[in-house]
Amino acid sequence: MLKILNLEAGYGELRVLKGISLHVAPGEVVTVIGANGAGKTTLLKTMAGILKARCGEVEFDKRRIHNEPAERIVARGCCLVPEGRHIFSTLTVKENLLLGSYCRARTFRPWRKGPDHADNEQSIESTLEQVYELFGILKERSGQLAGTLSGGQQQMLAIGRALMSRPRLLMMDEPSLGVAPLVVKEIYKTIVNLKRRGLTILLVEQNARAALAVADRGYVLETGQIVLQGTARQLCDSPEVQRAYLGKEYRSIDE
Amino acid sequence: MNLPQIVEYARSGITVGSIYAIVAIGFNIIYACTGIINFAQGEFLIVGAMTAISLSHVLPLPAAIAGAVLVTALLGGLLEIVFIRPVKNASVLRLIVVTIGLSIVIREAMLHLWGETVRSLPYFTGTAVSTVTILGAGVSLQVFWVLGVSAVIVAALTLFFRFTLTGRAMRACADDRMAARLCGINDRWMVTLSFMLSAGIGALAGCVISPVTQTQYDMGAPLAIKGFTVAIIGGLGNSMGAVAAGLFLGLLEAFVTSQSSAYKEAVSIVVLLLILVFRPSGLFTRSDVSALRTA
Ligand SMILES: Nc1ncnc2c1ncn2[C@@H]1O[C@H](COP(=O)(O)OP(=O)(O)OP(=O)(O)O)[C@@H](O)[C@H]1O
Ligand SMILES: [Mg+2]
């Protein structure tokens, strides 16, 4: 479904991604783990069209999307939940969610033919109901300004807003960042839930333990390069991952 | 001061005040969307009025005004696409300088097109002398047009931003540009739209005051300064604040002028300085919302 080939990107002079290749098959949950500054966010922003790729290819549904603007990539069904949530804090919860389906509300979208084309208010309304079902708290707080939600609720809102676009590929950038352990659990339960419904997910995390627990496969990103890849099981068992990301080796050194 | 005099000053204060408010709302729309203070905002009023005056020779008045609003809105959009959008490494300051340049260019263009002649649209209803008597003072019918149109503009904008998808998308852009793009909102068009909207509203305001204040090619800049002061007093980006602040400044000016006309222009500058020193977030800003903005 998603194929990235030799992708390079950065900021100004700074080269952050140094040739990344990875793929995600339909229905899979794939995780990219890496330390601070490895380039995880840069990778997702490039795929979402916020940053320009310097070189390489991003293919989504057999279409090259690396030159397309962010707005069109969402409309194609590839949606990013950005790091740090980025909800619209001066808008209400419901307005946030409705804006999530902005790309579906317009009828004139020549590049998006097919069954989704005739999306209408009714189907947006039904997606809204689904999101409310997934995160009950959002329904309770639908009239509240989003900025007044707690951190965990804001993360749920960010995910809910992305789901409103009815993505086929959902990209998430550190959904557990700055969220209490109990809420992390809830968010990960939702991810499993979404996976069961057949949603394809690309999950970027520093919290390797949580991510590998729900993922089918994973990649390890270090200073802009993929250094390791494999099934979630393989990564969990690999000594490098255990030492660097799961913090297991330390104990045996201490002992 | 006797009662009719007070009514007279209040009338003039409220009339100019509501126009200041509309100019300030024009500032606010663009500021919220882009962080730019558009110093060509005053020129939009004059372009609108001048176009309406020219069109009114061949069209009935309502059609001439509608045409002028449309033309000015398109002009606003065009200027944004041609002069603002392509600026590379656009810092807000650089873009503000561009708008100052634009205001000069528009002013000179108007001088060429319409000359230095002072013109005006006809009174919308009745004539210059038809008045309504309120508490012993005669109030021109056009004053009610100014107030009515201002109120309609404010109400329509509020509804637009609150309840339409495009309006919400513009607020989303103002709140978080990147997140708006991730929702599929084309932020560049939202910016263009904000320029069109401010230009159109400015043009309408320019038309309704034209019969009262007359219109000349270089009257935009002073209006822009007053509108800017009002926008700052009301809190940048806050439309209801702009209305309150507009009426406040208009009335203050009117009553200060009643004591000594020498201080008229000084009033707004003094108020502006006081606000900037003591309450830079504006007099009428809701602290909870502004806290969310900076968060
Ligand atoms: N806007 C920016 N301008 C310049 N450099 C940036 C910018 N954003 C990130 N960088 C740099 O790019 C590198 C990769 O950053 P990135 O945000 O992709 O890392 P990350 O893997 O997401 O880290 P974290 O886990 O902390 O979120 C870092 O060295 C960072 O300093
Ligand atoms: Mg990151």
Residue-wise pLDDT for B84-98, tens only, equals 999 877 788 888 899
For residue A25, give the nearest of A216, A176, A162 by alpha carbon: A216
Q: What is the domain extent for residue A238?
A: 2-87+158-246
Residue type, position B226, single letter: K
Q: Is B293 on the interface with A (CB under 8 A)?
A: yes
Q: Which residue lies with its CA nearest to atom 25 of ligand 1?
A: A36
A222 DSSP assignment: E
Q: Which residue of A has its CA nearest to B179?
A: A86
* DSSP strand pairing (A55-60 vs A63-64): antiparallel
Residue A46 lies in a domain: yes
Label residues B104-115 b or e (16+ Cβ within 10 Å = b): eebbeebeeebe
Q: Which residues contact B112 (CB under 8 A, 6 or more apart)?
A: none
Q: Which of A116-120, A182-186, B182-186 has the lowest mean pLDDT?
A: A116-120
User: Distance between CA A172 and CA A41 in Å, rounded?
Assistant: 10
B264: how many CB neighbours lie within 10 A of its CB? 12
The CATH number for A180's domain is 3.40.50.300
Q: For residue B163, is pLDDT > 50? A: yes
**Average pLDDT for residues B184-207, to the nearest whole number?**
95
Higher pLDDT: A106 or A19? It is A19
Helix, strand, coil % over all residues of chain A, rounded to 5? 45, 25, 30
Higher pLDDT: B134 or B70? It is B70
pLDDT of residue A254: 46
pLDDT of residue B93: 85
Q: Is A33 on the interface with B (CB under 8 A)?
A: no
> How many domains does chain A contain in total?
1
Residues 185-204 of B with CB under 8 A from A: 185-186
Q: Are A64 and A56 in contact (CB under 8 A)?
A: no
Residues of B in contact with A91 (CB under 8 A): 168, 171-172, 175
Residues of B in contact with A50 (CB under 8 A): 178, 181-182
A230 DSSP assignment: E
Residue A252 lies in a domain: no
Q: Which of A45-49, B58-62, B240-244 has the lowest mean pLDDT?
A: B240-244
Ligand 1 touching residue A50 (CB < 6 A): no
The number of CA neighbours under 13 Å toward the Cβ of A60 is: 22
Give me ligand 2 centre to Cα A204, in Å: 8
Q: Considering CB atoms only, which of A70, A95, A165 is closest to B168?
A: A95
Give me ligand 2 centre to Cα A20, in Å: 16
pLDDT of residue A15: 92
Model confidence band, residue B54 (pLDDT cutoffs 50, 70, 90)? very high
Residue A14 lies in a domain: yes
DSSP characters over B200-213: HHHHHHHHHHHHHH
SS3 assignment, position A30: strand
Q: For residue A98, is pLDDT > 90? A: yes
Give me ligand 2 centre to Cα B292, in Å: 23
Give me ligand 2 centre to Cα A81, in Å: 12
DSSP bridge partners of A228: A220
Model confidence band, residue B129 (pLDDT cutoffs 50, 70, 90)? confident
Model confidence band, residue B273 (pLDDT cutoffs 50, 70, 90)? confident
**Average pLDDT for residues B161-174, to the nearest whole number?**
92
* DSSP strand pairing (A217-222 vs A29-34): parallel
Tokens of A5: 């080939």
Residue A186 lies in a domain: yes
Residue-wise pLDDT for A54-93, tens only, equals 999 999 999 999 889 999 999 999 999 999 999 999 999 9
For residue A67, give the nearest of A53, A81, A85 by alpha carbon: A53
Ligand 1 touching residue A36 (CB < 6 A): yes
Q: Is the dihedral of CA A8, A11, A15, A16 positive or negative?
A: negative
Choose, out of B168, B182, B188, B287, the residue to mutate when testing the contact with A (most A CBs < 10 Å): B182
pLDDT of residue A82: 96
Domain spanning B3-294 has what CATH number?
1.10.3470
User: Distance between CA A225 and CA A8 in Å, rounded?
Assistant: 10
Summary mean pLDDT of chain B: 88
Ligand 1 touching residue A204 (CB < 6 A): no
Q: For residue A218, is pLDDT > 90? A: yes
Burial of A52: CB neighbours in 10 Å, binned 0-12, 13-18, 19+: exposed
Model confidence band, residue A172 (pLDDT cutoffs 50, 70, 90)? very high
Ligand 1 touching residue A42 (CB < 6 A): yes
**Average pLDDT for residues B223-245, to the nearest whole number?**
87
Q: Is A145 on the interface with B (CB under 8 A)?
A: yes
Q: For residue B208, is pLDDT > 90? A: yes
Q: Which residue lies with its CA nearest to atom 10 of ligand 1?
A: A11
pTM over 0.90: no
Q: For residue B233, is pLDDT > 70? A: yes
pLDDT of residue A102: 92
Q: Are B266 and B44 in contact (CB under 8 A)?
A: no
Residues of B in contact with A165 (CB under 8 A): 183-184
Cα angle for residues A225, A229, A234 (degrees, 5° grid): 150
Model confidence band, residue B286 (pLDDT cutoffs 50, 70, 90)? low
Residue A63 lies in a domain: yes
State whether B181 and A71 contact (CB < 8 Å). yes
pLDDT of residue B292: 52
Model confidence band, residue B262 (pLDDT cutoffs 50, 70, 90)? confident
pLDDT of residue B285: 62
pLDDT of residue B204: 96
The number of CA neighbours under 13 Å toward the Cβ of A201 is: 29
The predicted complex's ipTM stands at 0.90
Model confidence band, residue A252 (pLDDT cutoffs 50, 70, 90)? very low
Model confidence band, residue A100 (pLDDT cutoffs 50, 70, 90)? very high
Residue A53 lies in a domain: yes
User: Distance between CA A136 and CA A162 in Å, rounded?
Assistant: 16
DSSP characters over chain B: --HHHHHHHHHHHHHHHHHHHHHHHHHHHHHHHHS---TTHHHHHHHHHHHHHHHTTTS-HHHHHHHHHHHHHHHHHHHIIIIITT-TT--HHHHHHHHHHHHHHHHHHHHHHH-S--B-PPPSSS-TT-EEEETTEEEEHHHHHHHHHHHHHHHHHHHHHHHSHHHHHHHHHHH-HHHHHHTT--HHHHHHHHHHHHHHHHHHHHHHHHHHH-B-TT-HHHHHHHHHHHHHHH-TT-HHHHHHHHHHHHHHHHHHHHH-GGGHHHHHHHHHHHHHHH-TT-TT--HHHHHHHH-
